[in-house]
Each structure stands twice: as C-alpha cells, then as structure tokens.
Structure 1
C-alpha cells in the first residue's frame, strides 16, 4: 500500500517518490542567478506554496533534473510545475522534448502560464489541487 502524503478536500494523496533522478552539476551555477532574477510569476507562486503552506506539501524551487532546471518540483510526488511565459510560444519544440524527457523519468508535469499566475492565481491553485487529486489521489 502506498504511503499517504496529505489530504486534499478529503481525498488521500499518495506519495510517488521518483528515485535516482539524473543531475547535471554544471547547471548549479545557473541556479542562484535564476533565483536572484526574481521572475514575478515564480515569486508569486512560490509565496503560495513555500514552507509547506499548500496542504503541507514540500515544494523545491529551481530544481536540476538531468540537463534541465525546472521551475518547481515536489519530490514526494514526482511532480514538476512549469510556469510558461510568452517566450514559450517560440519554444514549443524544445518544451515538447523537455516534457517527454521528464515524463520518461516517471515524472508528471503541471504547466501554468505566467499570465494566469499573475491574474488568476485562485484558478491556478484550484487547478493544481485538481491535478494532484486526479494524478495522486485514492
């Protein structure tokens, strides 16, 4: 039986820890710059989920997985959260390759837009709840 991580709206959420994720140490130097850049939508989202404030779930910000730096990662769920800004309109092929790679590792990806984080945060958080319940609930 899978271990329970938390409950969302009365539904048990089971852990889905993905082990032995690849890590490229050469990307570590980019992390502090990305964090210091303080991309507004990432800061807004981070303020909603930091310190286990979202259903006691622990989120990591700017996590290296393979040759990529993902915006947010939930270790105990194997869940990547990506915030896409307008520049992703020009990177659809790259995003598709990245997503297929992450999924091949057994990870699930929840994508949201920069616009929605800034303008529809309540909807974003409800969509994240629904995504977690649908993918990890029992």
Structure 2
C-alpha cells in the first residue's frame, strides 16, 4: 500500500512552511517527537507541508494522511477549515484533526487514534476522525 501521490502546491508557501517549522507550537513539538523518524508504525511524516494553497501540520506521503492540530489559530475558522479539508480530500488526502489540549494532555490517546486510522487505511476503510 504505497500511494505516494504528488500533491501540487504554491512555491511561495515553502518559505512560510520553513518559518512555521522554526516556530512550532508546544502541541506540534510534542506530537513531532512521537512520529518523526518513522516512529509511528514505520511511516515517515513531515511537518508543515505545503499542499495546494495550504500548509498542513503533519503529512505522510505514503498514506496521503494529513494530521492537523486545532488550537487557538483555528477558533472561529470552522468554515475555512471545512473548505480546506474538502479541497485536500479532492486530491485523495485524508485529514485527521486533534484538539491542541488533547495532544498536550492525552498524547497516548492521540497516537492510538492515528495508529487506528492508519490500520483502517491499510484495510481500505478509513474515514476522517
């Protein structure tokens, strides 16, 4: 199960993504420590990845799986997030979202949910969390 599809992106977002990597939130740092270097089921994740007109928090090319952490910056942006997710899904990207506080306080739960979702991708029954 190797999808590894290339998703187009705006070149100008590369610099912004680099900035975001340098200024990660605590939740992003905590999750990154757990999923980097193929620590999660042997899949390679990258952080702050440009896709289309957006930058996703974490992305696995093999699975076409984006992980988003919703913190203060997502407040009052529900319609924007839905539009963004719909556009990414049109390219075959599955988007899973976690609340910032869940990552900070229940990292094991978050990792278990991601692992469960990955297993569902392998079985062909994945639906966004």
TM-score by length of 2: 0.90
Q: Flag structure 2 segments of 5+ consecutive residues without an equivalent.
A: 125-129
RMSD: 1.3
Q: CA deviation at 1:17?
A: 2.3
Greater Rg by CA: 1
The offset of 1:89, in angstroms, is 2.9
Structure 1 consecutive aligned stretches of length 4 or more whose deviation exceeds 4 Å: none
Output the CA distance in 1 between the equivalents of 2:24 and 2:121.
30
Equivalent residue for 2:16, pick from 19, 30, 44? 30
Matched residue, 1:91: 77
- State how 1:1-138 maps to structure 2 within 5 Å: 14-18=1-5, 20-137=6-123
Give the gaps of 5 or more residues in structure 1: 1-13
* Distance in 2 of aligned mates of 1:67 and 1:24: 6
Q: TM-score, normalization: structure 1?
A: 0.84
Q: Which has the higher strand share?
A: 1
Q: Determine which structure has greater relative contact order: mean sequence separation of CA pairs < 8 Å that are 6+ residues apart, divided by chain length.
A: 1
Query: Equivalent residue of 1:70, what SS?
Result: strand
Shift of 1:113: 1.0
